[in-house]
Amino acid sequence: MEDPDEVIAFGMFESDPRETFFSDDRLLEQQKARLARMAPYVESTGTDALFEVVEVVQPAAQPA
């Protein structure tokens, strides 16, 4: 919040947990192209990782 030039981005996609992101050449090429387009504007990267959603929590229904 203190640095207006800092951006935090998340990308979510559905995948079979038995498959890996790194085995899909098409996805890897798309990611390389995205990173190349962003590179001139990126000074540093704090974290770059893949995370698995292990539990989906649904909001409680609101009374009418």
pLDDT tens profile 2-59: 888 888 888 777 777 677 767 788 888 998 998 899 899 888 888 888 788 888 888 8
Structure letter (DSSP) for residue 58: P
pTM, full prediction: 0.52
The whole-angstrom separation of Cα 23 and Cα 46 is 25
Name the residue among 22, 8, 16 with its Cα closest to residue 50. Answer: 22
What does the angle CA 8 – CA 25 – CA 53 come to, to the nearest 5 degrees? 45
Helices (H), 5-64: 25-38
